Chain A
Amino acid sequence: MDITVEKQGNLLLARVAQDRIDAACAIQFKDRMREISLEGQGRVVLDLSQVTFIDSSGLGAVVAVRKALGGERPLELLGLTPTVQKVFRLTRMDSIFTLHDRWDDGLQDAV
């Protein structure tokens, strides 16, 4: 699973560098995010701007990552594309996650 990680102060920015998070790669996604989460202790921002398709298995994997991080370390999502947004809206997960349209200074400073 191709996810790059960048440290921005206390924050970890994880960029999914492939266009799908589906049933075929949901486990690999969770495993890679587990590795990434060990690289810091602060917030984790997951950049989904390159992801054009997610199914309910992919969504479940994102939820699992959020739960694994625990209540003290929020998982925030960045740059949802229209199809991904639709899945979050239909499952009402858009009311659970903090969503950011784009990376900006406010996001970085609000550590």
Chain B
Amino acid sequence: MASTEGTSLHFLIPAQPDAVSLALQRVMRARQLTMLTADGRSTTELVLAEVLNNVVEHAYARYPGEIELRLTVDPACLHCQIIDSGLPMPEERLPAGDPPNLGGDLPEGGFGWNLIRTLTTGLEYHRLAGRNYLQFSLPV
């Protein structure tokens, strides 16, 4: 099967909440993403925010660093790869991402991985040579 050549985007983002917020706004303005539907745009911005914020809060909880974001656009989906040099995921595995229980005391967190798992396909994580590699696809 012939492969469709995609269009790639590459960002290097300091692992700080302000920098992530600004970078996301820049990503969403990229010419290559103008073809996304309104729904595709909101899903993309939300998932990337959750993933990048997780890296800031957890992987780089103890030391500063940078996050690499690679996006490849093809007609069917947006392929995303996020690479960081922070701490590994617990047990080097993706969190289960069960939906938080809304009964009783309302949760103020724990929504991130559930959103990521709900909205992405082909979610994969591995740890290699001191770096975290996360990849997934999003509908366009």
Contacts and interface: CB of A to CB of B under 8 A. Distances in A.
Contact of B46 (A24, A60, A87): A87
Chain B at the A interface: mostly helix, strand, loop or mixed? helix
Nearest to B57: A23
A37 interface: no
Interface stretch (B64-72, B108-116, B121-129): B108-116
Nearest to A58: B49
A20 B112 CA distance: 17
Given A56-B50, A64-B108, A91-B114, A83 B102 contact: no
B106 A66 contact: yes
B38 interface: yes
Contacts of B99: 91-92
A55 B102 CA distance: 18
Interface residues of B, number: 29
Given A82-B38, A91-B114, A92-B102, A55 B108 contact: no
A24 B102 contact: no
Interface residues of A, number: 26
Interface string A20-33: 10111100000000
Interface of B: 17-18, 20-21, 24, 38, 42-43, 45-46, 49-50, 53, 56-57, 99-100, 102, 105-109, 111-112, 114-115, 118-119
Interface of A: 20, 22-25, 53, 55-57, 59-61, 63-64, 66-67, 82-83, 86-87, 90-93, 95-96
